[in-house]
């Protein structure tokens, strides 16, 4: 398991001492404990994903506490490749452990309030950044694949390892939470230090913030010092299942794909540029005075320069659910099976209101890419930091 | 692309000269041409699978010929990592090529006759081993995931590579065939020369025939000399989507899992044995006179010793389709989301009547494993050999 100690977070816990009292932890304890980030956020992205959400059925907060204790204990053992008698058999552990497994837990809005009910007396501790996302232009969110009171992001170097961990965790949830929706994903191997390509064939993740720089990570990724004490060392996850109309995309000329993306397909360079990591050509115009990167180009609309500096940390995966039956909305209005595939968009950020929502509000209206993509599901989750030796969520749940 | 020349097949083509005339190819041409097996059958099993079937919509045989020509040309380029102008862009080829891609094509019964119609005047050339499979005990085949006039098995070292190839082939099928069902799969990495484990945690494939021995391959895998001339160098594929009740399985004690499987979980050894590749303990009894490998154990029912020597070549993958909503058939009769996962069973053989059907007829009735597994889809396909320089299916279609 990867320990990343944030000096800022530790300082924040001191500064917010009153807050720690609120959370039922003594100031001395908070100060002396080391806060750690959950793995799977700032750690290297493993190539296979199993993302699973749950609806809580637990009636009492103690049941949620017991679940998070069981999950944390099992997750620590799974990530360390250890056997847990009666839970992780030596037979199952063999070959499934040393694959870079990371398990990340998140709390959805439903933990705090659901159908108007404050089931666990936690509503007052719902952080402001966990405000429900607005409905975006074009959203086609399917209820059965949206929301969730809890989430588990399981990532590993092997799909079986990622799935095996989720099976163990799901079995531990019996009686307290039931699976709501799941999405698996993969990241193709284009070699180390190369930006992977998504299913559209374009490089994906070129402008990700450099979170190895603590200043950038503290500004973009980790909960703000003024956020609730229990979220210190934590972050917020926006998950969106973004279906791509691949048959439609594959019929487009590369030149049109590039205009839509606002980047060149093979190199990843900006339109008119040469290298993947050159600045976008947002101001440049052609001899007729038209911008060489289209106003509605995806890369332009995603750029911090066009969003008052807003940035998020993308950890996206390709997803592929085989076929599903659809009726096309464009010529030749064909009915039949199409690829049910696209992007499992996972983005971590300090505050979704100034991160994902800030960026996607305009994008959902103007992005030329929208004719090829549809958001069909997803969720919003708070992924807290964790006290060393404690369980995930302890600083929230033990009031 | 992997060329495997079968002397027996070449001889067979001479012996069956009259047959070659039937198929419209001169005897001289058949004798001078080299027959090759399709890749993805006897070649090493790549870890990622995209299996896609199609319904033919083509009205004339010539349309099927044109499709198979386009597919063969594209498949050869894709497997070689080459660019095909207007079809495989250099942008898309980058990084997607050198991943061990194999593309294998098969013909389902519907190519020969469908809804009682001999659409392409091919009914007389339907091989006897391509007889419809019987309904097996416990079959729960969902029509939308069953059958198919054509199939493509795409296997590669990266899921994106396997999928990319299928997208190209699907785009080439427009107007001639529409996708019917698909299933992706993966094979966990347990290290080279180790039998992989399936999602039940047991080693899977221990008793596969050694097809590196041409005598065994000719007896078990490749079409018999007496089969139709166009099938020489070919083989038959039985595909079954076998859903596993993983939540149920995971609750069982390892000792009961082992009794059900008829093997030990960690080592893969027979019950009472020590090494994975030891003979099964089919005759041994305990001190009370009971067989130590249960009569209904899966490994016993699959063993050639118990099936008059019947053998098939398994190239199975784990599959994982996320969650689906189910009502359980056993206590606690829970309704809710369960893992939609299991085994994408792919088995190649000389004749399904004496291969899969011979073995599975008893197994479907008596296998203790059946309480954890359900066959929910699949298909039957003839995968012909190919003349060097020709296209897949040429020896059948050019009558």
Flag whether pLDDT at B15 surpasses 60. Answer: no
Summarize the confidence of residues A67-88 as an average pLDDT.
Answer: 91
Confidence of residue A10 (pLDDT cuts 50, 70, 90): very low
Determine, for residues A201 and B171 on separate chains, whether the beta-carbon distance falls below 8 Å: no
SS3 B79: helix
Residue A247 contacts B where some CB pair is shorter than 8 Å: yes
B96: confidence class by pLDDT, cuts 50, 70, 90: low
Contacts of A332 in chain B (CB under 8 A): none
Position B217 scores a pLDDT of 98
CA distance B52 to A64: 43
Residues of A in contact with B171 (CB under 8 A): 247, 250-251
Q: Which residues 45-84 in chain B show a CB within 8 A of chain A?
A: 50, 52
pTM recorded for the entire structure: 0.91
Q: Residue written as tokens 């360079």?
A: A269
Choose the closest CB to A254 out of B91, B171, B254: B91
- A376-385 confidence digits (pLDDT tens): 999 999 999 9
pLDDT of B20 above 80: no
Nearest CB to B189; choose among A144, A158, A189? A158
Among A128-132, B2-6, B244-248, B378-382, the minimum mean pLDDT is found in B2-6
* Contact check, Cβ <8 Å, A184/B320: yes
The H or E element spanning position B18 is helix B17-22
Q: How far is A14 from chain B (nearest CA, A)?
A: 43
Measured CA distances, B262 to A134, A217, B251 (Å): 55, 53, 18
CA distances from B45 to B102, B201, B234 (A): 9, 19, 18
Most distant pair of Cα atoms in chain B: their distance: 72
Phi, psi of B11 (to 5 degrees): -65, -45
Is-contact A13 A31, C-beta < 8 A?
yes
Q: Considering only CA atoms, which of B270, B282, B258 is closest in space to residue B206?
A: B270
Residue contact B186–A318, C-beta within 8 A: no
Range from A61-65, B16-20, B86-90, B317-321 carrying the lowest mean pLDDT: B16-20
Please list every residue in chain A whose beta carbon sits closer than 8 Å to the beta carbon of residue B168.
250
Distance from CA of B171 to the nearest CA of A (A): 7
Distance CA A381, CA A131 (A): 10
ipTM for this prediction: 0.90
Distance CA B122, CA B132 (A): 16
Return the pLDDT at A33.
Answer: 59
Tell me the mean pLDDT in the region B340-352. Answer: 98
Mean of the per-residue pLDDT values of chain B: 90
User: Which residues are within 8 A (CB) of B203 and not within 5 positions of it... i.e. 6 or more apart?
Assistant: B195, B196, B197, B263, B268, B276
Angle, in degrees to the nearest 10, between helices B159-172 and B61-80: 150
Per-residue pLDDT reduced to its tens digit, A122-140? 999 999 999 999 999 999 9
From CA B148, how far away is CA B193, in angstroms rounded?
A: 34
Better pLDDT: B28 or A316: A316
Q: Considering only CA atoms, which of A64, A382, A52 is closest in space to residue A235?
A: A382
pLDDT(A118) > 50? yes
Q: What's the rounded Cα separation, in Å, for the pair A108 and A53?
A: 9
pLDDT digits (tens, 9 = 90+) for A206-215: 999 999 999 9
Least confident span in A89-98, B9-18, B32-41, B76-85: B9-18
Question: How large is the average pLDDT for residues B15-33?
Answer: 43
Q: How far apart are CA B263 and CA B368, in angstroms?
A: 13
Q: Report the distance separating Cα A331 and Cα A353, nearest Å.
A: 37
**Secondary structure of A259-272 as H, E, C letters:** HHHCECCCCCCECC
> Given this model, what pLDDT does residue B94 score?
64
Query: Tens of pLDDT along A251-294?
Result: 999 999 999 999 999 999 999 999 999 999 999 999 999 999 99
With CB atoms and an 8 Å threshold, state whether B90 touches A160. no
State the Cα–Cα distance between residues B285 and B372, nearest whole angstrom.
26
Going by their DSSP bridges, the two strands A317-327 and A386-387 should be labelled as unpaired
B201 vs A161: CB contact, 8 Å cut-off?
no
Rounded average pLDDT over B269-274: 96
Report which secondary-structure segment, H or E, holds B154. strand B150-156
Dihedral (Cα; A103, A108, A114, A115), 10-degree rounding: -120
Whether the predicted pLDDT of A86 surpasses 60: yes
Phi, psi values for residue A83, rounded to 5°: -85, 140
**Which of residues 197 through 216 in chain A touch B, CB cutoff 8 A?**
197, 199, 201
Question: In angstroms, rounded to a whole number, what is the distance separating the alpha carbons of residues A93 and A37?
Answer: 25
Span B314-330, average pLDDT: 90
- B178, A336: Cβ pair inside 8 Å? yes
Interface of B with A in 358-397 (CB under 8 A): none
**A9, pLDDT greater than 90:** no
Contact across the interface for B188 and A90, Cβ inside 8 Å: no
Model confidence at A58, pLDDT cuts 50, 70, 90, reads very high
DSSP states of A221-285 as a string?
TSPPTTS-GGGTT-EEEEEEEEEE-HHHHHTS-HHHHHHHHTB-TTT-PBTT-SSTTSPP-SS-B
What's the whole-number mean pLDDT along residues B76-94?
82
Partners of residue A91 in chain B, C-beta under 8 Å: 201, 254, 265-266
Give one DSSP letter per residue of B267-315, joined into a string.
Answer: T-PBTT-SSTTSPP-SS-B-TTS-BSS-TT-HHHHH-GGGTTT---EE-
Residue of higher predicted confidence among B349 and A81: B349
User: Does the pLDDT value for residue A24 go beyond 80?
Assistant: no
How many Cα neighbours within 13 Å face the side chain of A289? 0
Cβ–Cβ of B91/A201 closer than 8 Å?
Answer: yes
Interchain proximity A320–B201, CB inside 8 Å: no
Q: Phi then psi for A214, rounded to 5 degrees? A: -60, -30
* pLDDT recorded at residue B334: 74
Burial class (CB in 10 A: 0-12, 13-18, 19+), A219: middle
Average pLDDT over residues A64-84: 94
| Cβ contacts of B179 on chain A, cutoff 8 Å | 323, 336-338
- Which of A53, A54, A74, A91 to mutate to test binding with chain B, by most B CBs within 10 Å of its CB? A91
Rounded average pLDDT over B48-73: 98
pLDDT greater than 50 at residue B23 = no
pLDDT tier for residue B191 given thresholds of 50, 70 and 90? confident
State how far the Cα of B151 lies from the Cα of B174, in Å rounded to an integer. 15
Domain positions in chain A: 7-243+381-397, 244-378
What number is the average pLDDT over the span B238-266? 95
Is residue A221 predicted with pLDDT exceeding 80? yes
Q: Does the pLDDT of residue A14 top 60, yes or no?
A: no
């Amino acid at each position: 398991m990867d320990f990343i100690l944030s000096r800022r977070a530790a300082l924040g816990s001191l500064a917010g001492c009153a807050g720690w009292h609120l959370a039922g932890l003594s100031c001395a304890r908070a100060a002396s404990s080391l806060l750690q980030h959950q793995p799977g956020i700032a750690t290297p992205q493993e190539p296979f994903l199993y993302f699973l959400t749950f609806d809580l059925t637990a009636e009492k907060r103690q049941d949620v506490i017991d679940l998070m204790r069981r999950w944390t204990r099992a997750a620590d053992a799974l990530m360390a490749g250890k056997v847990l008698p009666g839970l992780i058999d030596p037979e199952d552990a063999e070959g499934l452990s040393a694959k870079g497994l990371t398990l990340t837990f998140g709390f959805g809005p439903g933990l705090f309030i659901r159908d108007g009910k404050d089931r666990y007396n936690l509503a007052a501790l719902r952080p402001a950044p966990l405000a429900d996302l607005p409905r975006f232009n074009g959203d086609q969110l399917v209820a059965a694949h949206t929301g969730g009171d809890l989430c588990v992001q399981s990532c590993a170097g092997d799909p079986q390892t990622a799935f095996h961990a989720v099976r163990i965790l799901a079995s531990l949830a019996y009686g307290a939470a039931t699976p709501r929706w799941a999405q698996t994903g993969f990241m193709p191997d284009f070699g180390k230090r190369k930006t992977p390509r998504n299913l559209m064939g374009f490089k994906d993740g070129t402008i990700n913030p450099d979170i190895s720089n603590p200043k950038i990570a503290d500004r973009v990724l980790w909960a703000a010092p003024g956020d609730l004490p229990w979220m210190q060392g934590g972050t917020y996850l926006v998950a969106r299942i973004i279906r791509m109309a691949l048959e439609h995309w594959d019929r487009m000329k590369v030149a049109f794909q590039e205009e839509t993306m606002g980047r060149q397909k093979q190199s990843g360079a900006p339109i008119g540029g040469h290298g993947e990591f050159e600045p976008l050509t947002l101001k440049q115009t052609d001899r007729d005075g038209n911008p060489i990167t289209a106003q509605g180009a995806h890369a332009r609309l995603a750029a911090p320069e066009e969003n008052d500096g807003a940035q998020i940390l993308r950890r996206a995966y390709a997803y592929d659910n085989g076929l599903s039956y659809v009726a096309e909305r464009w010529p030749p209005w064909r009915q039949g099976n199409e690829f049910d595939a696209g992007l499992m968009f996972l983005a971590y950020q300090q505050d979704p209101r100034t991160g994902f929502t800030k960026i996607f509000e305009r994008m959902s209206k103007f992005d030329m890419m929208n004719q090829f993509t549809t958001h069909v599901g997803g969720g919003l989750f708070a992924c807290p930091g964790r006290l060393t030796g404690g369980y995930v969520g302890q600083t929230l749940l033990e009031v």
